[in-house]
Structures are given as structure tokens and as C-alpha cells.
Amino acid sequence: MKQYDVIVVGGGHAGVEAALAAGRMGAKTGLVTFRKDDLGVMSCNPAFGGLGKGHLVREIDALDGAMGRASDYAAIQYRLLNRSKGPAVQGPRVQADRVRYRDAIRHIVAEAPNVDVIEAEVTALELEGGRVVGVRIGDDSALLAKAVVLTTGTFLGGKVFIGDRSFPAGRMGNAASTVLAQQLRGLGLPMGRLKTGTPPRLRSSSIDWDMLETQPGDDIPAYMSFLTNHTIAPQIACAITHTNPETHQIVRENLSRSAMYGGQIEGVGPRYCPSIEDKITRFADKDSHQIFLEPEGLDSDTVYPNGISTSLPAEVQEAYVRTIRGLQNVEILQPGYAIEYDYLDPRALDLSLQLSALPGLFLAGQINGTTGYEEAGAQGLVAGLNAACMAFDREPLHLSRADSYIGVMIDDLTARGVSEPYRMFTSRAEYRLSLRADNADQRLTPLGQTLGCIGDGRRVAFEEKNGRLQSARAKLTAKTFTPGQLRNAGYKISEDGTRRTALELLGLPGFGFDVLETLEPDFKTIDEDTRAQLGREMIYAAYLTRQESQIASLRADEARAIPDGIDYSAINGLSRELADKLSRSKPKSIAQAGRIDGMTPAALVLILARIQAVGRRESA
Amino acid sequence: MDTIFALASARGKSGVSVIRISGTRAHDVARAMAGSLPPLRQATLRMLRNEAGERLDSALVLTFAKGASFTGEDVAELMVHGSMATVAAVERCLAVDHGLRLAQPGEFTRRALDNGIMDLTQVEALSDLLEAETESQRRQALRILDGAIGRVVGVWRRHLVKAAALVETAIDFVEEDVGNFDTQILAELRAVEGGVQSELAGQRARERIQSGFEVALIGPVNAGKSSLLNALAGRDAAIISDVAGTTRDVLEVRMDVGGFAVTFLDTAGLRDTTEEVEAIGIARGKARAEQADLRIILHPADQPAMMIETTDRDLVVRSKADINAMPNGISAHTGQGVDRLLDQITERLSAMTARDGVTVRERHQQAMQQAATALTDAIDKIAEGDYIAELVAADIRIAINALDVLIGVVDVEDVLGDIFSSFCIGK
Ligand SMILES: Cc1cc2nc3c(=O)[nH]c(=O)nc-3n(C[C@H](O)[C@H](O)[C@H](O)COP(=O)(O)OP(=O)(O)OC[C@H]3O[C@@H](n4cnc5c(N)ncnc54)[C@H](O)[C@@H]3O)c2cc1C
């Protein structure tokens, strides 16, 4: 029988990052997935990044994960979303060639230290003394491990719907994971159903591209990985088209035949990624919706029509698609469909993504109620790192809302649970002015170095870049100017008598590096990247200083951990309603408890008093 | 939580003393002492006895159930005869025979807050109510006790959350061509800004209801200021306290005027002087009067020209009216016009407090000031056009946080400490 440190179940985006992360930590890792071909497969849209999601990719990259590098290898179009807004809310996004992405991931996994890929179906968790000690695979042999990471995606109890047809599947063309689903339900874990959908795939050569408006990528690409410094693949343009009243008419007439609308699906779908059925019903006054036609690859004849996911019967899909400009003669290669699957209420997890009730078991990705590759990958990374920490008997990694989007996501999931598939937005991050995509490495790479998950290549690159930043910062802070000096040099500045450092000047309107150079020629030696980085930092300088005290008190509250299994009903003075809410959402810290709806300062004081009392008793 | 008790009325000799017991054992202990308990919320006469069966006092016994009492816990109140010996005997019985604990200062209120019976502003208001000296203080405290601040802030908060949502939509959903919400965002923000500004404007007057208004008497030497002050003070019942001789330059007398707490300041007489010490006194008096809420300028009937510049804040009265028999003047000697002057003062103070605001404390003011600044920042950015959306979002967040602090949703530890330390035992 084979003994691993860490076993990862599932070779999707969560599973791959989990296995790679555990491997980087030096854990002997087994990645078990249905088919070796699963690695790097994109179930839905051929794109990575975007608003909030781009931040996640950069954070995964900062901790030396694979997603950023693989998507740069696969990128056939770069676009920085919100380019006209400030850097904190800009989201790097790429359209990715499916084949290139899969190749990149396979290559990275093959080269990875300590990771074995095992092709098999996991049919059960091996339990012993209330812990998970391994997994049972299809042929009924067991694989043992000190920690197991479960990343079953849409496969757990998965069921595909096209119109009135439905059948068990993990996604189109793949078997569902039904046996394992049964075991999990039998364990009495808090589980539920969620759903999501995907649009039909179109044959590129049957589209009349010439009549459509095209959307090219950015002239200056914003790369997904901090390690990428040039564009790797040839770049292409997408096209834009729109639905029209005729399209809507057909969809409306057939609503009752839609799986989502006909009531066949009990699971809840995401409000922000609505199907065409949803859009037409909920926004009845709009007679046109935008569709991006995104080629799935350089050599691919498949096109992904972004914006019309559906679970109508195949013939209805064909009829409405053909009403759309440019798609009059289009051929559908694979009809759109909806999928419904099991997820686990993430409030049952602790901040390391371990299931509190079943030590040794970590969960990541779609199984935790999220949607999207980036959300899955980010959780996989954290679960993999923490599984390795457990295997080595080390303290787990807990990311904070104040240091990363990953921290925000895990905090949201574990404190609030989900009522619909969870995806990242920049507005979820209250400290987003400091949690930028451009400084993810500054925020997280040092943390990764301490933990031991950063490879040599990245370490060297980061230290070099960081060195340049620090020395430029030091130069700019050392040089100061009085308003008089600036006025004499011909620049406008308020006569408040304050001496300002060159760095502070950078935060004022009208003081770019072009101006600074005229004041101090030595600044000419600062390179372009460093300049851009410092410029972005200074835009928010005034706000960041104000946030500091808030962040400090958040960190203090996060540090006040609430022990597992605290009995809220026994806290005198806590209202029944609040006690119920607390027992349900199991806050991990005072910070999380404070965000529970209806929480009062008084109640927080009571909880605080209780955990202090518990602490005293334990340390006595 | 353990069961606590304390004297809820003032300590010392009085007609009736109220001893309040709160906690899970409150009813049991009261029953043990009273033999049996009357129905909830019905005061009934009972003989109180200690464990040895000795009679302590015949008292009115009143009980409240958990969730429907002052503290949110089971509560019993014993109204005993107000002699110190009786109170001591009952207290001894509660502590020694029944093992209950004497409450810490403010502990009943703290429990009410802990049990969600009151929010933070209500607790503050209660403390004001207990200390209310005048009718206007009492009314104001009652209004806040009723949750007025929470309601006003709740409305502002809803506007701000709406504005924030619109800004965020423009940030997070650029790909969905959702349109431009600037007009709507501005409308939401301006609605709140207006509300906060008008609260702030009325704040000073409301604070004065708590701390008392200052009314300065000024006028030339021998204009009759001191005699007027004496005449006012002579209306014996009105005097609250006289902190006479606080400084040698300003004399203060605190009294109740038409339900307002008012401190009259008698400043050193104004005149041109070459004597250095006197000049300093005059300067101090002037400075103090400058900050007063109202200035009463005495223009002696026997002097023709006014030496003092006046503004509409000031009340000008002809003093020494008895000398020249002026019908509308006042005379400290005959008492003529003193009541009318008091009415005029009341009228002015009422006008100042007429705004229907709810926030009272320095803490409220700071939070609102912070919110107002953040809102102005946000509005200016949007109004200038081509703004950085995430900074507007940050401004709105700052405003929301500030208002949250106001009603005690976050960051309240220091405030709590402050409030509870200002309570006295049993209340
Ligand atoms: C129809 C459809 C529509 C979607 N629409 C969207 C969308 O609109 N927007 C969006 O952001 N995301 C969408 N996604 C979701 C996106 O694909 C997922 O969020 C992401 O892939 C989840 O990653 P994961 O690693 O959690 O799981 P997956 O990528 O699903 O990977 C799970 C892996 O686990 C393996 N596995 C499962 N069970 C077992 C087992 N018992 N034994 C061995 N191996 C097992 C599978 O073979 C698979 O490789 C959609 C997915 C589907 C299928």
C-alpha cells in the first residue's frame, strides 16, 4: 500500500494548484483524477482573469502557483479591464487557447517535484478514528496519506441538463462522481445543490466574421504572471455581436422547455452569470444583449459565444442562435447545457480549508460553493499548502482580508457560507486600495518564502525586483524639497511651508517622473517598471495611511480566535436569535463574528469575555 | 451570569428606597423573602423576612420577566421604607442569606446593553436622563432613549449603501455596459450630506442642553451687572448652584431658566483703563463673553452712547430703568423687567434648540464630522467629472464606518469604557 504525505482528489484547477503547492512544500503528493487528460481542462469559458479574478491569478502566481504562467503561455488576447480607472480595480484578463493551456499545465505538473499523477476514480474516503487517513480508488485499493484534499468540481453528484433531457455527468463527456457523493452524504455533512450553465459552442468557419465588429487586445499587454516578460503566443481579435427581438421571441416562447426554467433543477445558479433565459425574463425591457465571440484557440475551429449560456433543447438553441447577426448559418458543435452538482456548506471549514468535523480532510474549489477557475485555483493552493503543513505538523497558513483577495474569499466562505455560486469581485475586498493586482508579489511572495513554497527562479526574480523598488523608494524619500525650491523651479505647489519628499511629490497631480528628473537628475537611473509601480502606490497614499489603523484593528480581531465547539447557547445574555446565527455560521475569530448580520457590540463583548475565560481556564 | 442587586434610588434618608435585583435567581430570592410573588408587573404589599424568619420591612414587591425588563433578565424590585437601617437589613439579607452580589457601577445598564435591550446611544441617553436637571435635558434624553439616533442613522446608511452599490457596479461590471449612475449617486450622497450638516449645525445647541448654556452679562462699569445677577440669583428657587468666584474676572451663577440650564457670567466691567491688572481682567472677560451662547448687553439708562459693538446674537437691555423711569428697561432694584428678560432669554435658547436633531455628544459630533468630510470629498470628486471610482467608493466606506461608530456597530470598546465609568452604582 502506498503512503503519501498528501493526496489530492481531482485534477481540475483546484486540484492542480493543490498538488503543486504541496509538492513545492516538499510533501510526497499523489494527484488522483479520473483521467490523466483532466489536467488543465477548462470546463467553460476560454479565459482567465478579469475583475477580482485577475487579482486571484496574480496572488496564486505570487505564491508560485501555475495558473499565471500557464495562462500567459496560452494567452491569445490580453485585455486589462477598467484601464480607465485606478490600478486597484484594474483586472488583467486573457483569452486562452485551450490546447496551449492544457499543455502548459501538463508540462508544469510533469516537471513538478514530489507529485505523482494517478488515473483512477476515488470512490471513498478512508476513515480511521474520526479522521481521514486516505482514499479508496476504483479498483478497491487504498492510498494512505496524512492529509487529503478533495477538489471534485462539478463532478460530485453531477447531472447535466439540456432541455428536458438529463443524465449524470461531471461535465459534458465525463462521468460524474456518484459513489463518493453517496459516502459524503452518508457522513451527515452539510451539503446542498448548486447549478451553472454553459453556452453552445459554434464552428468558427460557419460564422460570417466580416460583418461583425471586432475587438482587438491591448497594445501593451498586462501579463498574468510576474515572471512573464514577453508575449508568447500569436494574438488574435474577438468579435462582438448582439441578440435582437427575434432572438428573445424564440427564447421566450420556449422558456417552459428550458431545464433551468422548466423546474427540473433544484440547485441555485449565480445571479451574475445569468443564462439567456434569465436575462430575457429578468430584463424584459432590454431588447438586445451583447455577445463576445471568443475563438477557443489558434488552431481551433471552435468559438465560445460569451453571454448566451442556456439549457434549452438543442433545436431551440440552433433556432435562436441563427437569428443573431453574423450567425445566420452557424453550426453548433456542442449544445449549451446546465449542470447541477453537490457542494458542501463552507461554514463547516476552518480558515485553512480543513473540514472541522473531519480532521485530515481539506476541501477546495467548486465543492465549496464557488464558481470559476481562479477561485478554484486559489483555494486549491491554500488547501494544498495547509495539507502539507498538516503532514509536517506545522502551523497552518491563514490569509487575512487585509493581505489578499484569497484571504477575503476564504473569510467570506467560512464565515457567511454561500447562497449562490460565489465569485470574486473587487468590491468584496474592503482594503482593495492596497490589495492590488500589481503588488500581489509584494504582499505574498515573502510570506511564501517563509512558508517554503517559493521556487528558486521566482525567489531570485522577486528579490531582484524588490531590491530595485526599495532602492528607488529610498532615493525618493531621501530627497526633499521646500515649496520655495519647487516654485523657483517653475512648479505649482501650495505654499504651506511643508518640506516634501520626492516620493510624496509623486502622489500630487503634475509631478510625474519627468518633473522629478528635472529636480534631481539621479532619478533618471530608475527603470520604467519601478517608476510605474511607485506611481501606482502613490495614487492611493493618502487613503492607505488612513486605512492603517483599521487594518490594525482588523488584524487584532482576526487574532482573537474563537475556539471550535464553543457553546453559544450557554453564553448568558446572548439573544437566542444571535446564538442560533453564531452556531450556524461558526465564526473562526472575533473579526468574523463581528460581520455576522445583526451582531451587536455588546454581544461581541460577551463572546470575547467567554473566549478569554476559556483561555484563562486552559492556561491555568 | 450571576444575580446582582443594588439600591436603585438615591442613598440616604428618603420616603421610599428601591432595591433592584436582576438575574436568573431574582424571582426565587424575592419569593423566599416575600413568601409569595404577585403577578408580573403588579406592585403588591408583602412582608419581607430574612432566612431566620425575622421581619425586615413591609414593602411593595414588583417583578418583571426576562426579555421584558430593564436589564433583559428576570428582575425583582423591592420598595422599602427609606431608612438607612431598613435598606441595610434588606441588603444584608440579599448578600449574606441568599449569596447575591452587589452590582458594580453601571452594571444593570451594561446588562441591558449586553442583552440587546438598548443600543449604545440609548445607554448614553439613559445616563443623561438619570442626570437630567432640567425639563429640556429630560425631553432630549427621552427622545434618544427611544432610539432616535439609530433611526436617523439607519436612513442615512441606506442611502449610502445604495450609493456605494452604484459605484461598485460601475467598477465591477464594466463589461456589462450598465450605463452611468453619476446623477443618482450624487443625489444619494447629497441627501445624506444635507442631513449630516443640519445635524451638525444643531449639535452645539443640543450639547448645551446637556452642559448648560452660557449667558454673558456685559456692559460698562456700573451698568448694574452685579446687581442684575444678584436679582436673578435672588429668585431663590431657580438657583442650581453658584460657583461664585471661579476666577476673579468672571463670576458664574448657574440656574434653571425656562427649563434650560443656564450659567450666567458676570464679566469685569468694560472701560478704557491704563491699569495693567484691570486691563487683563477686561480682556479675559471679553474673551469669555465672546464664546458665550448669548450676550446680554447692559446699556445703563443714565448713559447716552453705547461703548460696545453689538450683533444679532446679543440682547441689549436698558438697565437702571428706575433712574429714568424707562418702561421697557430693567431695574435690579425694583425688579422691573427681570421676568421679561428671563422670557427673552428662554425664547432665544428655544430658537437655538428648535432644530429637530438627535445627536448630542462630542462623540456623535466627531463621527458626523468625519462622515461629512468624506461625503464632501466624494461629492466633489464626482461633480468634477472623470473621477477615480475606487476613491469615491473609499470615501463612501469611510462615511458608512463613521456612522456605524455613531450607533455603536463597530469599534466601541473605548466608548463603552467611557460610558460605564460615568455611571454610579445601582442605576
Ligand atoms: C457546464 C459548466 C458551466 C460553467 N460555467 C461557468 C461560468 O459561467 N463561470 C465560471 O466562472 N465558471 C464556470 N464553470 C465552472 C468552472 O469550470 C469551475 O469553477 C472550475 O473548473 C472549478 O474547478 P475545480 O478544480 O473545483 O473543479 P473541476 O475543474 O470541475 O475539476 C474537478 C476534477 O476532479 C476530478 N474528479 C471529480 N471527482 C473525482 C473522483 N471521485 N475521483 C477522481 N477524480 C475526480 C474530475 O475528473 C475533474 O478533473 C462551469 C463549469 C461547467 C461544467
Which atom of ligand 1 lies closest to the CA of A160? 1
B385 a known binding residue? no
Q: Which of A86, A550, A575 sits opposite B116 (nearest CB)?
A: A575
Q: Dig out the grid coordinates for B281 from the structure.
A: 481682567
Interchain contact, B390 vs A88, CB within 8 Å: yes
Indicate if the pLDDT at residue A461 is higher than 60.
yes
Mutate to test the pocket of ligand 1, among A371, A413, A423 (most ligand atoms within 8 A of CB): A371
Closest CA to B109 of B100, B99, B119, B96: B119
Nearest CA to ligand 1 atom 24: A153
Three-state secondary structure call for residue A32: strand
Interchain contact, A86 vs B391, CB within 8 Å: yes
Interchain contact, A540 vs B391, CB within 8 Å: yes
Which atom of ligand 1 lies closest to the CA of A12? 31
Interchain contact, A89 vs B113, CB within 8 Å: no
- Of residues B220 and A533, which shows the higher confidence score? A533
Long-range contacts of A609-617 (CB under 8 A, 24+ apart): A610/A566, A610/A571, A611/A560, A611/A561, A611/A562, A611/A563, A611/A566, A614/A563, A614/A566
User: For residues A494, A500, A506 and A507, what is the CA-based torsion angle, rounded to 10 degrees?
Assistant: -60
Interchain contact, B171 vs A82, CB within 8 Å: yes
Indicate if the pLDDT at residue A132 is higher than 90.
yes
Report the number of secondary-structure helices (H) and strands (E) in chain A: 20, 22
Q: Which of B120, B173, B397 sits opposite A601 (nearest CB)?
A: B120
Q: Dig out the grid coordinates for A496 from the structure.
A: 504651506
Closest CA to B427 of B117, B111, B140, B139: B111
The answer to whether residue B236 neighbours chain A at the CB level (below 8 Å) is no
Closest CA to A320 of A618, B277, A311, B371: A311
Indicate if the pLDDT at residue A618 is higher than 90.
no
| Per-residue pLDDT at A267 | 64
Three-state secondary structure call for residue A332: strand
Distance between CA atoms of residues B171 and B393, nearest Å: 10
Which chain A residues touch B173 with a CB distance below 8 Å? Answer: 272
| Per-residue pLDDT at B257 | 83
Model confidence, pTM: 0.74
- CB of A270 closer than 6 A to ligand 1? no
| Per-residue pLDDT at B423 | 35
List residues bridging with A168 in a β-sheet.
A159
How remote is the CA of residue A152 from the centroid of ligand 1, in Å?
Answer: 7
Closest CA to A519 of A465, A480, A492, A549: A480
| Per-residue pLDDT at B339 | 82
- CB of A311 closer than 6 A to ligand 1? no
Q: Which of A409-413, B259-263, B332-336 has the highest mean pLDDT?
A: A409-413
- CB of A310 closer than 6 A to ligand 1? no
Categorize the per-residue pLDDT at A346 as very low, low, confident or very high, splitting at 50, 70 and 90: very high
Indicate if the pLDDT at residue A304 is higher than 80.
yes
Lowest mean pLDDT among A438-452, B215-229, B318-332: B318-332
Report the chain A residue with the minimal C-alpha distance to residue B115: A573
- Fill in the amino acid letter for B217: L
Question: Mean pLDDT, chain A, as a whole number?
Answer: 90
Categorize the per-residue pLDDT at B278 as very low, low, confident or very high, splitting at 50, 70 and 90: low
Q: What is the pLDDT of residues A416-437, one digit of tens each?
A: 888 888 989 888 888 889 999 9
How remote is the CA of residue B223 from the centroid of ligand 1, in Å?
Answer: 91
Which chain A residues touch B1 with a CB distance below 8 Å? Answer: 572-573
B376 a known binding residue? no
Which chain B residues touch A573 with a CB distance below 8 Å? Answer: 1, 72-73, 111, 114-115
| Per-residue pLDDT at B421 | 39
Which chain A residues touch B408 with a CB distance below 8 Å? Answer: 600-601
Q: What is the pLDDT of residues A41-53, one digit of tens each?
A: 998 899 999 999 9
Which chain B residues touch A546 with a CB distance below 8 Å? Answer: 398
Query: Under 8 Å CB-to-CB from B2, ≥6 apart: which residues?
Result: B23, B100, B101
B212: left (phi over 0), alpha (psi -120 to 50) or beta: left
B125-202+359-408 CATH pick, 1.20.120.430, 3.40.50.970, 3.40.50.2000, 3.40.50.300: 1.20.120.430
Q: Which of A64-78, A137-151, A557-571 has the highest mean pLDDT?
A: A64-78
Q: Dig out the grid coordinates for A47 from the structure.
A: 479565459
| Per-residue pLDDT at A220 | 92
How remote is the CA of residue A42 from the centroid of ligand 1, in Å?
Answer: 8
Residues of chain B with CATH 1.20.120.430: 125-202+359-408
β-strands A337-344, A159-162: how paired? antiparallel
Interchain contact, B398 vs A546, CB within 8 Å: yes
Distance between CA atoms of residues A14 and A26, nearest Å: 19
CA B186, B188, B192 angle in degrees (round to 5)? 110
SS3 per-residue string spanning chain B: CCCEEEECCCCCCCCEEEEEEECCCHHHHHHHHHCCCCCCCCCEEEEEECCCCCEEEEEEEEEECCCCCCCCCCEEEEEEECCHHHHHHHHHHHHHHCCCEECCECHHHHHHHHCCCCCHHHHHHHHHHHHCCCHHHHHHHHHHHCCHHHHHHHHHHHHHHHHHHHHHHHHHCHHHCCCCCHHHHHHHHHHHHHHHHHHHHHHHHHHHHHHCEEEEEECECCCCHHHHHHHHHHCHHHEEECCCCCCCCEEEEEEEECCEEEEEEEECCECCCCCHHHHHHHHHHHHHHHHCCEEEEEEECCCCCCCCCCCCCEEEEEECHHHHCCCCCCCCCCCCCHHHHHHHHHHHHHHHCCCCCCCCCHHHHHHHHHHHHHHHHHHHHHHHCCCCHHHHHHHHHHHHHHHHHHCCCCCCHHHHHHHHHCCCECC
H helices of A149-244, where?
Answer: 179-186
Q: What is the DSSP letter of A396?
A: P
Question: Mean pLDDT, chain B, as a whole number?
Answer: 76
B179 a known binding residue? no
Q: Dig out the grid coordinates for A461 from the structure.
A: 526574480
Fold adopted by A201-215+225-339: Elongation Factor Tu (Ef-tu); domain 3 (2.40.30)
Distance between CA atoms of residues A4 and A23, nearest Å: 11
Distance between CA atoms of residues A21 and A31, nearest Å: 12
Q: What is the pLDDT of residues B50-100, one digit of tens each?
A: 999 999 999 999 999 998 888 889 999 999 987 878 888 898 899 888 988
- Fill in the amino acid letter for B215: V
Lowest mean pLDDT among A303-307, A453-457, B142-146, B262-266: B142-146
| Per-residue pLDDT at B356 | 53
Q: How far is B204 from chain A (nearest CA, A)?
A: 28
A401, A410 contact by CB (below 8 A): no
Distances (CA, A) of A139 to A4, A120, A219, A464, B135: 18, 8, 53, 50, 85
The answer to whether residue A539 neighbours chain B at the CB level (below 8 Å) is yes
How remote is the CA of residue A179 from the centroid of ligand 1, in Å?
Answer: 17
Q: Which of A491-495, B113-117, B351-355 has the highest mean pLDDT?
A: A491-495
Q: Any idea which residue has 525650491 for its cell?
A: A485
The class that CATH gives domain A560-619 is mainly alpha
Q: Which of A290, A432, A553 sits opposite B411 (nearest CB)?
A: A553
| Per-residue pLDDT at A374 | 98
Residues of chain B with CATH 3.40.50.300: 214-350
Fold adopted by B214-350: Rossmann fold (3.40.50)
Q: Dig out the grid coordinates for A423 from the structure.
A: 465569485
How remote is the CA of residue A380 from the centroid of ligand 1, in Å?
Answer: 12
Which atom of ligand 1 lies closest to the CA of A13? 25
Three-state secondary structure call for residue A21: helix
Lowest mean pLDDT among A168-182, A299-313, B111-125, B399-413: B399-413
How remote is the CA of residue A410 from the centroid of ligand 1, in Å?
Answer: 19
For residue A80, how many C-alpha atoms fall within 13 Å in the half-sphere facing its CB? 17
Q: Which of A543, A575, A600 sits opposite B391 (nearest CB)?
A: A543
Q: What is the pLDDT of residues B366-377, one digit of tens each?
A: 778 889 999 999
Report the chain B residue with the minimal C-alpha distance to residue A427: B168
B4-114 CATH pick, 3.40.50.150, 3.40.50.1100, 3.50.50.60, 3.30.1360.120: 3.30.1360.120
Categorize the per-residue pLDDT at A605 as very low, low, confident or very high, splitting at 50, 70 and 90: low
The answer to whether residue B146 neighbours chain A at the CB level (below 8 Å) is no
The answer to whether residue B239 neighbours chain A at the CB level (below 8 Å) is no
Fold adopted by A456-546: Arc Repressor Mutant, subunit A (1.10.10)
Residues of chain B with CATH 3.30.1360.120: 4-114
- Of residues B245 and A412, which shows the higher confidence score? A412
B223 a known binding residue? yes
The CATH number assigned to the domain with range A2-192+340-451 reads 3.50.50.60
Q: Which of B72, B114, B172 sits opposite A426 (nearest CB)?
A: B172
Q: Which of A50, A85, A605 sits opposite B114 (nearest CB)?
A: A605
Domain spans, chain A:
2-192+340-451, 201-215+225-339, 456-546, 560-619
H helices of A398-439, where?
Answer: 405-416
Q: Return the residue in A53, A56, A79, A82 with the most chain B beta carbons within 10 A, the one to mutate for interface testing.
A: A82
Within 111-130 of B, beta carbons closer than 8 Å to A belong to 111, 113-116, 119-120
